[in-house]
Amino acid sequence: MAINRFKPIAARVWQDKKLLALAAGGFLLALFLIVGVSTIFDRGIKLVSMTPVGEIGVKSNLDFVFSSDVIDDRDVGVTTIEELIKFTPAVPGRYRWISRRELKFLPETPFQPSTDYTAEVKPEVVKVKERYLARRQTVAFTTRRFKVNTISFSFIYPGEQQKLNRR
């Protein structure tokens, strides 16, 4: 059988540490090349970043940067109301293409304070032929929390309100 021809080779590799290290290195190199080549030919576009990150101001504009071009040159600078990113909770706004791979969201109303948001990139964001959004891509962010600077209390005893109203 063909397997019997490889048994002496396998036994020798297992016994010799240098050969074992060489075989393991060859395997890792082959794996690295397969993964590397597959990512080179991957046409799926990914969201690289959204800024600002984390906690944002209620009047912030948001910038979305993609891994490669999602529009043609003729669309750079164009502003649209087409919903390219779905916000939860919903936020009305416009989208402006800053470059072939950068999109700016311009909200029409401020974000709600002390609120957790998610932004999901819709597949329609990709306008370049033969390209697509790699997978469902979402980003989570929050708006600044309310801060209490000072609190003032005043107490009025029963019957005192009538005295204040007479003055």
Q: How far apart are CA 70 and CA 100, in angstroms?
A: 6
- The verdict on residue 167 lying in a domain is no
**93, part of any domain:** yes
Residue (of 110, 68, 63) closest to 85 by Cα position: 63
Q: What are phi and psi of 85, to 5 degrees?
A: -135, 130
Q: Same domain, yes or no, for 24 and 76?
A: no
pLDDT (average), residues 140-160: 80
Asked if residue 134 and residue 79 are part of one domain, the reply reads yes
- Specify whether 14 is located in the same domain as 69: no
User: Are the CB atoms for 106 and 94 separated by under 8 Å?
Assistant: yes
7-32: pLDDT as tens digits: 776 666 666 666 656 666 676 676 66
Asked if residue 75 lies in contact with residue 161, where contact means CB atoms within 8 angstroms, the answer is no
Residues 24 and 57 in one domain: no
Tokens of 48: 């690289």
Output the pLDDT for position 109.
Answer: 95
Q: What's the mean pLDDT in 79-92?
A: 96
Q: Are 97 and 71 in contact (CB under 8 A)?
A: yes
DSSP code at position 144: P
Question: Tell me, what's the pLDDT at 47?
Answer: 94
89 and 21 both lie in a single domain: no
Query: Do residue 24 and residue 84 come from a single domain?
Result: no
Domain encompassing residue 60: 44-143
14 and 95 housed in the same domain: no
Q: What is the CATH number of the domain that holds 111?
A: 2.60.40.3710
130 contacts 121 by C-beta, under 8 angstroms: no
Instruction: Give the predicted TM-score (pTM) of the model.
Output: 0.65
88 domain residue, yes or no: yes
- pLDDT band at residue 35 under the 50/70/90 scheme: low
Residues 13 and 57 in one domain: no
Residue 26 within a domain: yes
Number of domains in the chain: 2
